[in-house]
Amino acid sequence: MSSNDPKKPKLIQNGKRMSGRSFTDLRPLKITAGVLKQADGSAMIEWGKNRIIAAVYGPHEVFPKFLTDNRKALVGARYVMAPFSSLEDHGRSGPNRRSIEISKVAKHVFENVILTNKFPKTIIDIHMDVVQSDGGTRIAAITAASVALADAGIPVKDLVAGVAVGKVDGELVVDLDKLEDNYGESDAAVVISPRSGEILLFQMEGLLTPDEVKRTVRLASDAAVKVRDVQVKALKDRYAQVANEQGEQLL
């Protein structure tokens, strides 16, 4: 949050954002399910300039074994950014403090929706690799991972949909791009379960009045429904593809 940075561009002009979007428009969003052969489930998300690949492995045996839970499956989540993923200098590969925190809260989201009691003594691993970043990578990664879980055939209570909402030049706007993320006054990553309307992830920083925070989650809830439509389409396309590959069948 560096709204007093001299390099800050004017982010809103004549009621439009720099990208030409209205305050509630999403960036172009496309999800493709089943992009990887080895993984049990996978998805690639293209959201603005974000390119993130999610893969699901499992349920499989837990290692080390003593961590096994006899009543339910464990959920493992790993979010990482590739060292070449940003427009800036080459980053360090592997997890850092930021990605460890994001992996932890992402894991909590999926612990909520996966029917873990169906797979005792196992672990379901969810990997989210950011290969190009453009603001809002964590919510894009979780959105993609939710599709990958469904692609893996793992029973879930709901698809979960994420979006970032922030205050930019004094206005609350939906789906922050990188400039809005860097120069805005606040930033909240939100993941919603559209069926229950529950907030499964909320990470906010910046200065907002309590009313603005309340509007932030409501804007996110509305946007999550749009994101969910794209997720559903990705899965339907994937099943149509599988059906085509199998050719004509009597039953």
Partner 1 sequence: MISDQIKAQFVKELIKKNERPDGRQFLQHRDISIQKNVFENCEGSAICHLGDTKVLAGVKIDLATPFPDRPNEGMLSVGCEFSPIAHPSFQAGPPGEASIELARVVDRGIRAANAIDLTKLKVADGKVLGVFIDLYILDHNGNLTDAAAMAAMSAVKNAVVPKVVQDGEAFKLDREDRKSKLPLGEDVVTCTFEKIGESIILDANIDEENASSGRLTFGATTNGLVCSAQKSGSAGFNLTQFDELLDLTLEKRKDLIKLL
Among the candidate windows 46-54, 104-112, 231-239, 241-249, which touches partner 1 by CB under 8 A?
104-112
Does residue 246 interact with partner 1 by CB under 8 A? no
- The sign one gets for the Cα dihedral 155, 29, 217, 129 is positive
CB 135 within 8 A of CB 44: no
Distance between CA atoms of 143 and 239, rounded to whole angstroms?
19
Can you tell me which of 20, 64, 197, 247 binds partner 1, judged by CB under 8 A?
197
Per the rule left: phi > 0, alpha: psi between -120 and 50, beta: everything else, 179 is alpha
Does residue 118 interact with partner 1 by CB under 8 A? no
Distance between CA atoms of 141 and 105, rounded to whole angstroms?
12
Distance between CA atoms of 212 and 201, rounded to whole angstroms?
18
**130 closest CA partner among 140, 117, 116, 120:** 140
Does residue 229 interact with partner 1 by CB under 8 A? no
Does residue 204 interact with partner 1 by CB under 8 A? yes
Does residue 205 interact with partner 1 by CB under 8 A? yes
Give the amino acid at 33.
Answer: A
Does residue 2 interact with partner 1 by CB under 8 A? yes
Does residue 105 interact with partner 1 by CB under 8 A? yes
Does residue 225 interact with partner 1 by CB under 8 A? no
Residues that bind partner 1 (CB under 8 A): 1-2, 4, 97-98, 100-101, 103-105, 108-109, 111-112, 186, 188, 193, 196-210, 212-214, 217-218, 221
